[in-house]
Amino acid sequence: MVRGKIVIRRIEDMSSRKVTFSKRRHGLLKKTRELAILCNVQVGVIVFSLTGRIYAYASSTTTTTTTTTMGMPSIIHKYQSA
């Protein structure tokens, strides 16, 4: 059985929107963790909800031959310097 295509547009019903946000946020963070583990890369994701709550994920400590980096601050610094 094939899933039907959905039209990407704003969800008008507030409760449905909250449920969809929660499920999709969980899926996004799960895929981010998997990418960091499988590919041995540094990944950082920040999500701001409509209510102002912050959800973040940063891959854990990565050690290279020259440095050891920790989480989100090092990822943001690396992004800014790139």
For tokens 């899933």, the residue is 3
What is the band of 6 on the pLDDT scale with cuts at 50, 70, 90? Answer: confident
What is the band of 64 on the pLDDT scale with cuts at 50, 70, 90? Answer: low
**62 three-state secondary structure:** strand
Which token pair is 81? 């310097």
Query: How many Å from the N-terminal Cα to the C-terminal Cα in the chain?
Result: 45
On the question of pLDDT at 45 being above 80, the answer is yes
What is the rounded CA–CA span in Å between residue 21 and residue 26?
Answer: 8
Q: Is this model's pTM higher than 0.85 or not?
A: no
On the question of pLDDT at 68 being above 60, the answer is no
What does the pLDDT average to over 26-36? 95
What is the band of 7 on the pLDDT scale with cuts at 50, 70, 90? Answer: confident
pLDDT for the residue numbered 1: 73
